[in-house]
Amino acid sequence: MRFSATIHMLMVGCATIAMPAFAQTTDTAPDDQVAEIVVTAQNRAQSVQDVPIAIDVIGAEAIKDAGVTDFREIERLAPAVNITQDANFTRVTVRGVGTNSNDESQDQSIAINIDGEYLNRANILNISLFDLDRVEVLRGPQGTLYGRSATGGAINFITRKANTRDFSANGSATYGNYDLKTLEGGVNVPFGFGGLRLSGIYTDRSGYFYHPNIDARSATAGTIGGRASVRLQPVDRLTIDAAVEYVDIDNIISSFASVDLNAAGNGPGANCSQNGWVDVAPLLAGGQCIPRNTNYLSRIDRKRYDAALTGVGRNQQQSTAVRGRIQYDFGPAILTYTGGYRDVAQKSEPAVPPSYRFLEFANNTATQSHELRLNGDTGGFIWQTGAFYYREKLDNNRGLFNPRIGPNGSFINYFTRASDTKSWAVFGQVDAPITDTLTAVGGVRYTNDKRNGVFGNYGFRFNSGPNRATTAPTQLLYPSSADDKITWLAGLNYKPNNDTLIYGKVSTGFKSGGFDSVGSYAPETNTAYEAGLKLDFMAGRRSHFNLAGFYYDYRNLQVPTLIDNAIGAQVFNAGGATVWGVEAETVINLDDRNTFSAAVNYLNTRYDELFTTLTVFCVDCTQTAVGDLDPSPTRIVPPNLAGNRLSQSPEWTISVGYDHVFDLGNTGRLTASAFSRFKSDYFVGNNYRDNRQEAYTQTDLSLKFQPVSERWSLQAFVRNLEDIRPLAFADFVSAGPDRVYNWGFGAPRTYGVRLGFDF
């Protein structure tokens, strides 16, 4: 299938290059001004400076110049967002709010949409991104317009749409270190009452990490994808957009670095007093040791380290999506339908230290989302109302395999997990003018979720070999959960002149509850208070300064914990947290050749209460965790981690950028760009020393030449000049006889050249 898809992509690429090319018509500002940035964050077209939301907008040119081709790379362009990857699962955190779980029934805390199609699973976020028009990152709860899984914010990917007026073609070819090869392109063909756009991407790259014990590399990239989209305007006021997309991912998963805690000299000693270990339950028999102050991470070479004895793991994922949007303008109101269907089939086999392999025979997801919305402007009242429906069906079949137990190897555990989620909502929001300069904003949304599951457990399968089970599970469970919630927004917008917006609002977010193989857990909620200023200055050059302050009251956090391999991970509602911060950003277009940008974000996150279960290294006892959350009177009092910082939450994130254009006269122009971001230290998981990433900076540089015609360009670039590979994952595992600390890391320094064209 990959060979035929590759041939197809090459044919599309050749056709794209061979087509006759004409200039693409766009709405542009005069030569001495900077174009206005228009977004649809509130389901209507607005200048980004008129939207009372802290928002990052990344345009097509910035996306192209930064070489963004997958979800994780958005972090480089929106530094306040933290995106990491655990094997083949992508995690997103905004202002300290995110989801750190692979649980089949736990939703994301950040709403992710592609052209209105809602994405939810962490594995689906491995999507390849190509032919984008812009990305909108909305910081803070968006529970009114975006729904239940927008507790911390929303990220909207908007693809390039077919142009109904002009023929156009664009594309690029990139070559870089780690033998990176990327081809990306698109062609637009107008016809009588519409237009057709064909686009595609091909990426191939060798691995970022070398493992001398098995002489192999991991963290490769292998992606091929294509999209056909059409825009139809058969009559006045009616616009129809439709797209079909296919993406095939085949890559070697990033292998974990690890330390075997059973090895001589690595353990906690007889009484949890050695190597930085701490006894978390001194009143219990034996030693229940946690690695609070250990320093194993400092031993790891993040470029070159031993992988698991079971080798490197492979991930194969095919995703097919169909999306559509129908909009009719009645005059007083606009009616819009947006819908999407997606089918994802995934097989993966991550290698897990010291000598396991997680065999995922199937991780299949089928989703559909539909929204019907009516927008209008009546007597100065800007309003919208609508309904939303979402369904997600999951079918998972997987187990943890050890090839050294029995002649053919055995499964330590083996599960089948199927679930069916249905969610519907109705919503409305209105901007009501009080005076010429003061507007009140109010919104409300009602969400109803129902989820059912069929969980099968085969238990320990001795000498089974690495084979998919064909018999019925030894245990079947039929869990279910149901939640409904009203989320709301209330705010005031003050606009004393066209260049100033001052806003304040209170909003709520809601993430649905769910279940695991033991029981159910309740929803998370977030009540957010935010005030902000948006100020334009230097008329004609659209320079701006934005300031926002926020305070979150975050309750019933869903915390995943692996207590027993035989039953899998459990999720608990484990307390609350307070999150507050201040964000300031500016873009100054000094003149038509020089642009300066800067952002400073301060984030303070603390658990007010976090009763949880801790994985332990048990000395002279058999437990693997401490902190029974069973509400019975005889329970063990669980540890309270109040005061700990939330995961993936650096206190300071600072970025600075500068672009300078060298005018080469009739030859063209040369643009030199520099962008650097600083992140203070943060934790990945519990606040253990070996879960801590120290403060670091990463700097991107590029030099881009364009002739006067602007029909082609040549760019040289380097990203992460410092070659910092930040900590992306950390986990202390105690399972059966094995005690291991695992880590995963981010991308290294990359550099290369890109040749592009745009006709």
Paired sense of beta strands 558-564 and 568-573, if any: antiparallel
How far apart are the C-alpha atoms of 712 and 755, rounded to whole Å? 7
pLDDT at residue number 631:
46
Omega cis (within 30) before 354: yes
- Residue 670 main-chain phi, psi, to 5 deg: -125, 125
The pLDDT mean for the chain works out to 87
How far apart are the C-alpha atoms of 91 and 108, rounded to whole Å? 9
How far apart are the C-alpha atoms of 176 and 720, rounded to whole Å? 13
Is the per-residue pLDDT at 224 higher than 90?
yes
Ordered structural domains, the chain, with CATH: 2-286+301-322+340-758 (2.40.170.20)
Amino acid occupying residue 699:
T
Q: Which residue has the higher pLDDT, 62 or 180?
A: 180
What is the average per-residue pLDDT within 460-472?
93
**Sign of the four-CA dihedral 243, 246, 252, 255:** positive
Residue position matching structure tokens 């052209």: 115
Residues 264-284 pLDDT 10s: 999 999 889 999 999 988 877
How far apart are the C-alpha atoms of 97 and 528, rounded to whole Å? 12
Contact 184, 206 (CB under 8 A): no
Q: How far is CA 543 from the centre of its chain?
A: 29
How far apart are the C-alpha atoms of 31 and 33, rounded to whole Å? 6
Is the per-residue pLDDT at 103 higher than 70?
no
What is the average per-residue pLDDT within 175-195?
95
pLDDT at residue number 108:
80
Amino acid occupying residue 59:
G
Residues 373-407 pLDDT 10s: 999 999 889 999 999 999 999 999 999 999 999 99
